[in-house]
Every structure is written in structure tokens, then in C-alpha cells.
């Protein structure tokens, strides 16, 4: 599937901003299963300095610096991305989850078994997940069940939670949005010793014919990648929609939690009150696709 992506972020300030520095994680990662044909960032006003470097997780980070007074800051991220993540393995063939736990500390996934600021160890979350992981169950069987339970047990309700909402509140209220569900699932899996990382990206705006509209479209989206052992690697799981990530998602970046992958953060001098508008479109590309 080939998508045209357009993500517009606009900050409007009450007073002039004298000096600004921004960290953008708005360029989709190139991955097996995700081919970034083209990707651009249009920034207004024109920054005085831009650097690009991979971050710790290998995400494409762009840092922009503005040192002329401005009342408005806008980033338009556009990309043409082809996605077809491989189908997950037959769940029953994946290793028992305990084996995955045992192998995690010495693997590339080691970092993602540890708690992080927004996905800390929460006994209630670990307990919630444990029901899906009885002894000896193949890991993907447990993961799919857990994802389904989150979709059923939690109410999707925008506007109740915020960027700093803690897992312990969400597990209590059973209410939130994609970011909260992704944090709950990461915290729950890490509590069991299973590696889980937080993925920031997008889900397609309009559903393919015959399928239901996805929650979290029209905006930034978040889900989880869980590790299934050296043999099977990572699988993308979207607990907000109860689907395995295959061809309806575009991956921007991953990290331990939202803090590591906030699409646009920054430090400004001045500005006073500010307003923020975010618009996201992820549409199937029509017509001929040029690189």
C-alpha cells in the first residue's frame, strides 16, 4: 500500500518569540516493510540552522533553530511511503512467553524491558496483563489476547487524558486515547519482563472499502511493538483498534514512551500564551507515484 502523508503543526504565539529551538521526529523511518519513497519538511519561518542526526533509537531527528522574532511557527511534514509489514507468524508457533523473557536481557530488545517515565512499573497493569500469560503460552497468543482485552475493557474517549497522564490513572479509569493504551500495554508487558516499545506514527484516515474507520485517524497515532524472541523479532500491535500492524499504519519513530518520540518539542524564549493546531492526512496515493 502506498500512502501520501501530510502532517501540519502550527504554533501561534500571543507575543513574539525571540529565540526557538525545536526537535522534530516527523520523518518516517525506513524499515523492512516500510519504504520511504520521499519525505520533506517545510518549516516557516526559515530556520537559521538545521541539523539532522539519528537519535539513540535510530529515529530520524531534525533539530531546527530560529533566532529571528516570530509570532508563528509551522512545520509541514509530507511523505510518500509504501508499507507492507510482514504478516505475523502463526501465533501457536511462537515460543513460550517465559523463553522470550529469559532471552530478552541479552538481546537487542533489552532496553525495552525496563520501566520508563511514562511507562513505569505499575503492579495493577502487570496484574492485568498476567491473565493473558498463563504458564507456557506462546507469546503471540498472549499478546493478541491482551491487545483484544485492552480494546474491549478500555473506553476510547478523547479529551480526558493528557500527555502526562500516568498509567496508574488509566488502569484505574479504563479510559483514554491511543497514547494511554500504548503506555498501559508497554508498562504491563515490561512488568512481566517482556520487551515492549512505544511507536509513534499514523493510521490511514479513511478505511479501505468494507472496513470500519480506525480510531486515531486524522491525528498522530500511537501503538506498541512487542518482541517475540530472536527468531521472530518485533510485531506491531495497535491496542486502540485491536489490529496487528500490516498495511494501514505508517511508522514515524519508536522509543520507550511518548517522551522519547514526541513528534515536535522545543524550547522558546518569549511567546506568552500559545495556540497549537495539528492536522494529519494519510491517504492512499492515487495515480502514478514518482520517487
Partner 1 sequence: MADQEDVTPIDEMVDGRGGVRAHWRPLLGTLGGMGEGALAERARRLDRAFEDEGIAGVLPGAKRDAAWRCDPLPLVLSAAEFATLEAGIIQRARLLEALLADLYGPQDMLAEGLLPPELVFANRGFLRACHSAGATPPRPLLHLYAVDLVRGPDGYWRVLADRTSAPAGPGMARENRRLLGRVMPEAFRGTQVRSMRPFFDLWQDALQRLAPPEVGDPAVALLTRGSQAPRWFEDMLLSRELSCALVECGDLTVRGGRLFLKTLQGLQRVDVLLSRVDGAALDPLEMTGSGTAGVPGLLDAARSGVVRILNAPGAALAEAPALAAFLPALSRRLLGEALELPSVETIWLGEPGAAERVARESGWLLRRATDGAMPAAAEAAAAALAARAAPATYAAARVPPPSLVPCVAAEGLEPRPLVLRMFAMFDGTQWQVMPGGLARIGQGATLGGALPPQGLSKDVWVISDEGSDIIGPAPAHLPPMRIRRTPGALPSRVADNLFWLGRYTERLERAARLVRATQARIARGVVLPREAAEVSALARCLAHAGFDGAEEVTGSAAAQALPSVIAAALRDDGALTSLGERIADLTLRVRDRLTADMYATFTLTLRAARAEMDQAGDNLESISRAMIAVLRFATAVAGVAAENMVRGGAWLFLDLGRRVERAQAIASEVGFALDEPPARIEGGLRLMLELCDSVITYRSRYLTVLQPAPALDLVLADGSNPRALAFQLEAISRNLSEVTTADDTTLPDEAASLLAEAEAIVAELVDATDQAVAAANLPPRLEAMANRIAALSDGVTRRYFALLPAAQTLGMEGAEPALRGAA
Pairing of strands 70-83, 2-27: antiparallel
Under the binding rule (CB under 8 A), the answer on residue 63 touching partner 1 is: yes
Please identify which residue in 153, 276, 283, 284 interacts with partner 1, judged by CB under 8 A: 276
Under the binding rule (CB under 8 A), the answer on residue 8 touching partner 1 is: no
Under the binding rule (CB under 8 A), the answer on residue 94 touching partner 1 is: no
Please identify which residue in 14, 15, 90, 211 interacts with partner 1, judged by CB under 8 A: 15
Residues 6 or more apart in contact with residue 106 via CB below 8 angstroms: none
Q: What does the alpha-carbon distance between residue 186 and residue 194 come to, in Å, rounded to a whole number? A: 9
Please identify which residue in 33, 91, 193, 266 interacts with partner 1, judged by CB under 8 A: 266
Contact flags string 117-136 toward partner 1, x per CB under 8 A:
x-------------------
Per CB under 8 A, the segment of 33-41, 60-68, 137-145, 166-174 that binds partner 1 is 60-68
Contact flags string 28-47 toward partner 1, x per CB under 8 A:
--------------------
Under the binding rule (CB under 8 A), the answer on residue 161 touching partner 1 is: yes
SS3 content of the chain, % helix, strand, coil (to 5): 20, 40, 35
Under the binding rule (CB under 8 A), the answer on residue 259 touching partner 1 is: yes
Contact 66, 45 (CB under 8 A): yes
Helix (H) or strand (E) holding 148, with range, is helix 139-153
Which burial class, exposed, middle or buried, applies to 124 when counting CB atoms under 10 A from its CB (0-12, 13-18, 19+)? middle
Task: Say which DSSP state 121 is in.
Answer: -
Q: What angle do CA 237, 238, 241 make, to 5 degrees?
A: 140
Q: What does the alpha-carbon distance between residue 229 and residue 139 come to, in Å, rounded to a whole number? A: 9
Please identify which residue in 30, 35, 173, 262 interacts with partner 1, judged by CB under 8 A: 262
Pairing of strands 274-284, 2-27: antiparallel
Shortest spacing between CB 92 and partner 1, in angstroms: 30
Summarize as ranges the residues that interact with partner 1 (CB under 8 A): 11, 15, 18-19, 21-23, 48-49, 51, 53-58, 63, 65, 67, 105-106, 110-111, 113-115, 117, 158-159, 161-165, 177-179, 200, 215-222, 240, 258-260, 262-271, 274-276, 278
Amino acid at each position: 500500500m502506498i500512502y501520501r502523508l501530510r502532517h501540519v503543526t502550527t504554533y501561534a504565539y500571543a507575543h513574539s518569540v525571540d529565540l526557538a529551538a525545536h526537535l522534530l521526529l516527523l520523518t518516517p523511518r525506513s524499515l523492512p516493510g516500510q519504504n520511504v519513497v520521499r519525505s520533506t519538511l517545510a518549516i516557516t519561518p526559515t530556520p537559521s540552522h538545521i541539523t539532522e542526526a539519528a537519535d539513540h533509537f535510530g529515529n530520524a531527528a531534525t533539530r531546527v533553530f530560529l533566532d529571528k522574532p516570530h509570532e508563528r511557527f509551522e512545520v509541514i511534514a509530507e511523505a510518500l511511503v509504501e508499507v507492507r509489514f510482514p504478516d505475523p507468524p502463526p501465533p501457536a508457533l511462537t515460543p513460550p512467553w517465559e523463553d522470550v523473557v529469559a532471552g530478552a536481557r541479552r538481546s537487542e530488545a533489552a532496553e525495552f524491558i525496563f520501566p520508563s517515565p511514562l511507562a513505569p512499573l505499575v503492579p495493577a497493569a502487570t496484574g492485568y496483563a498476567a491473565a493473558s500469560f498463563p504458564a507456557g503460552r506462546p507469546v503471540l497468543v498472549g499478546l493478541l489476547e491482551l491487545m483484544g482485552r485492552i480494546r474491549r475493557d478500555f473506553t476510547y474517549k478523547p479529551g480526558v487524558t493528557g500527555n502526562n497522564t500516568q498509567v496508574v490513572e488509566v488502569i484505574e479509569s479504563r479510559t483514554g486515547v491511543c497514547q494511554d493504551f500504548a503506555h498501559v500495554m508497554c508498562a504491563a508487558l515490561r512488568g512481566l519482563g517482556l520487551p515492549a516499545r512505544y511507536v509513534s506514527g499514523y493510521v490511514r484516515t479513511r478505511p479501505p472499502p468494507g472496513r470500519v474507520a480506525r480510531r486515531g485517524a486524522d491525528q498522530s497515532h500511537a501503538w506498541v511493538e512487542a518482541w517475540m524472541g530472536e527468531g521472530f523479532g518485533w510485531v506491531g500491535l495497535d491496542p486502540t483498534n485491536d489490529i496487528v500492524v500490516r498495511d494501514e499504519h505508517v511508522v514515524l519513530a519508536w522509543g520507550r514512551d511518548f517522551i522519547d518520540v514526541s513528534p515536535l518539542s522545543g524550547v522558546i524564549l518569549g511567546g506568552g500564551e500559545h495556540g497549537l493546531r495539528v492536522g494529519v492526512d494519510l491517504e492512499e496515493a492515487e495515480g502514478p507515484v514518482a520517487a
